[in-house]
Amino acid sequence: MAARACLVIALLLPTQALAGWFGPPKYVKDACDKWCRAASSDLDATEACLACEKGPQTNPECSDDVPCDYCKAQITFPRHYPKLWKDEPTFDGKMEKLEGTTRCWCDTGCPVFYLKSWMWCSSQCSDICAKRAIEL
């Protein structure tokens, strides 16, 4: 386990330093800007803009009143995206493919969440990924 922790620290520190410089890709920022400009007169745009501003999704079942462990709150819940996110042509259908998936290593394309799911949610994600393999 100590070797895993050292590996994650070594891999995540440079990633975290660079994340502030790079953030979301330009096409995501552009779409978010477009939706936020239209938010005052369009409910779909309002929903899309709020999703942009909230940052990474957390499990809606978790709250101050209903606390969850890290894996349930951040990794193993099915993600859902606003209509405009799924329909945005510059996203090349990526959001539609992510609809209903988790941040486990078998679902995510994000290297940070791949490592986090492997490190801290290994047993939960192993179960989820085994079920995905059976479904295929």
Spatial distance between the Cα atoms of 41 and 104, rounded to a whole number of angstroms: 36
Residue ranges in the chain assigned as alpha helix (H): 2-22, 26-38, 43-54, 70, 83-87, 94-98, 111-120, 122-135
The predicted pLDDT at position 109 comes to 84
The predicted pLDDT at position 136 comes to 61
| pTM > 0.85 | no
Please give the share of the chain, as a percent, with pLDDT higher than 70: 82
The tens digit of pLDDT for each residue in 36-72 reads 999 999 999 999 999 999 988 999 999 999 999 999 9
